[in-house]
Amino acid sequence: MYKIAVAGTGYVGLVAGVCFAEMGHQVTCVDIDEDKVKVMKSGVSPIFEEGLEELMQKNYTAGRIEYTTNYQDAYKDADAVFLGVGTPEKEDGSADLSYIATVARQVAESVESDCLVVVKSTVPVGTNDKVEQFIQDFLINEVNVEVASNPEFLAQGSAVHDTLYAERIIIGTETEWAEELLKEIYKPFNLPIVSVNRRSAEMIKYASNDFLALKISYMNDIANLCELVGADIKDVAEGMSYDERIGSKFLNAGIGFGGSCFPKDTQALDYLAKQNGYELKTVKAAIDVNKIQKISLYKKASKRLITFNGLKVAVLGLTFKPGTDDLRESPSLDNVPLLLDQGADVYAYDPVGAENFAKFYPEGPNRRGSITYVSNVEEALDDANVCFVFTEWGEIKAVTPEMYRGLMRTPLVYDGRNIYDIQEMKKAKVEYHSIGREPGRVEVMRGEKNELQSTRF
Ligand code: UDX
């Protein structure tokens, strides 16, 4: 078993630390935030993630994990220091590496024995070569410190499961010593390990995430076309999914991808390509489609309604996906301000995301409208003129057409996640709009020629 330090206790760092402890390693999680450390020591997870708190408590009680702000003590005799600090996106789309640099320097100035620095954070290809050089420049003691790349593929909401049962562990190393040590650390997980060089490992992370983002944007693009030609994207996706080369996952069209990874990683790879004099047309397309997709429902509704001014607008779901309280790049953040600007009285419901959302849009009058946070779906829908669904939480999926019909003043629903049955909505006399599966050509042709929008919305 190894002595491991983990820098940063966000999604990546904390989950990795807890899972290493669960595998029997001796782990110290380091964070600069004293309050956060206190919270973690008390057995409370600072993030909402299924199964995490139980594992934190179990391993803390067993003495396999501790939390500290004292990085010197944590790093000085660690066999490996894992970096799970953030690499936020800068204005120009490049990754901000200042947290990585700070920890690299702290490691260099603290280590007293040989140590492998393992970068889990997503960093542009070539960064870890620089990190290694940077550490050598600041190293105080005569010890061997090398840098490995070990990108993380966990998804929020299933982070613990994704780590303990990962489909693959990617390790990018430049020496046999680093490769063997990292393989040994991961041995207790008993998972497939793909060992490549450092730059390939860094690229695998971007190439994987951007491929998934591209898959979603592709389906959204096709969905928009489906609407125009009278096809149903859900049926189309189902039909595609039987081809094993395509697969059945990440084919859900909707209101666009959000979260801490896809938006940032598509921008970062686009930027990296440009820096190298190359235009990554596919990734650029994924970004462009997503931008349009995020406000497509709002645009649709704007054409249907004369104004949002003075309307009660129910918003169901605020987080970028279910199972997390994270709002980063969530479509709700693009749409709610548009509604408020139009004078809407927004009644928002989210099982866990409302508190975070209120930090951006405090309850009460806001812009030309107002926002109220309610504690259940019914309150949001009660007497509402229109409803937007932004996140497919279980309790939102469970809303029946009869509830929309019975609770709303006008049962007009815009569903960004394609979660309801069109026929059932029709039967209940709910006017239902979703993405890529509305009646297309046949109905359009019944209206005025060339007036696609006005006949349909
Ligand atoms: C993603 C990757 O899945 C993970 O491997 C990586 O390490 C980090 O980024 P995450 O951002 O947590 O994880 O969520 P994910 O479930 O992948 O969803 C990302 C976004 O895509 C969400 O906004 C989701 O709603 C959207 N999405 C996903 C779709 O619109 N359609 C789909 O079919 C799948």
Cα atoms in the 13 Å half-sphere on the side-chain side of 368:
12
* pLDDT higher than threshold 60 for residue 446: no
Q: Is 217 in the pocket of ligand 1 (CB under 6 A)?
A: no
Which tokens is 122 given?
């997503």
Residues 6+ apart with CB under 8 A from 136: 108, 145
Considering only CA atoms, which of 133, 95, 110, 96 is closest in space to residue 30?
110
Mean pLDDT, residues 172-184? 98
With the most atoms of ligand 1 within 8 angstroms of its CB, the residue from 150, 153, 246, 321 to mutate is 321
Considering only CA atoms, which of 2, 57, 52 is closest in space to residue 27?
2
State the DSSP H helix or E strand holding residue 372, giving kind and residue range, or none if neither.
Answer: strand 369-373
Q: From residue 145, how far is each of 39, 105, 117, 171, 183 by CA, in Å?
A: 32, 12, 7, 17, 17
Atom of ligand 1 nearest to the CA of 265: 9
Considering only CA atoms, which of 6, 153, 173 is closest in space to residue 83?
6
Q: Is 218 in the pocket of ligand 1 (CB under 6 A)?
A: no
What is the reported pLDDT for 95? Answer: 82
Cβ neighbours, 10 Å, residue 427: 12
List, for residues 330-364, the tens digit of each pLDDT value: 999 999 999 999 999 999 999 999 999 999 999 99
Atom of ligand 1 nearest to the CA of 326: 12
Rounded-to-integer distance, Cα 224 and Cα 93, Å: 27
Rounded-to-integer distance, Cα 277 and Cα 260, Å: 27
Beta strand ranges found along 204-265 (DSSP E): none
Q: Is 320 in the pocket of ligand 1 (CB under 6 A)?
A: yes
Match 């107002």 to its residue by tokens: 370
Atom of ligand 1 nearest to the CA of 261: 9
Q: Is 331 in the pocket of ligand 1 (CB under 6 A)?
A: no
Question: What's domain 3-196's architecture?
Answer: 3-Layer(aba) Sandwich (3.40)
Catalytic residue among 19, 115, 261, 387: 261
Q: Is 67 in the pocket of ligand 1 (CB under 6 A)?
A: no
List, for residues 95-108, the tens digit of each pLDDT value: 899 999 999 999 99
Q: Please state which CATH class domain 295-456 belongs to.
A: alpha beta
Distance 375 CA to ligand 1 centre (A): 26
Mean pLDDT, residues 374-380? 98
pTM of the model: 0.91
Exposure letters 294-331 (e unless 16+ CB within 10 A, then b): bbbbbebbbeebeebeebbbbbbbbbbbbbbbbbbbbb
Question: What's domain 205-292's architecture?
Answer: Orthogonal Bundle (1.10)
Domain ranges of the chain: 3-196, 205-292, 295-456
Mean pLDDT, residues 305-313? 96
CB 12 within 8 A of CB 152: yes
Considering only CA atoms, which of 256, 219, 217 is closest in space to residue 241?
219
The yes-or-no answer on residue 261 being catalytic is yes
Which tokens is 378 given?
């019914």
Which tokens is 370 given?
């107002």
* pLDDT higher than threshold 90 for residue 222: yes
Rounded-to-integer distance, Cα 139 and Cα 168, Å: 33
Which tokens is 279 given?
């235009």
Match 């645009």 to its residue by tokens: 299
Asked if 205-292 and 295-456 have one fold, the answer is no
Strands 193-196 and 169-172: what pairing?
Answer: parallel
Q: Which amino acid is at 424?
A: E
* pLDDT higher than threshold 80 for residue 456: no
* pLDDT higher than threshold 70 for residue 426: yes
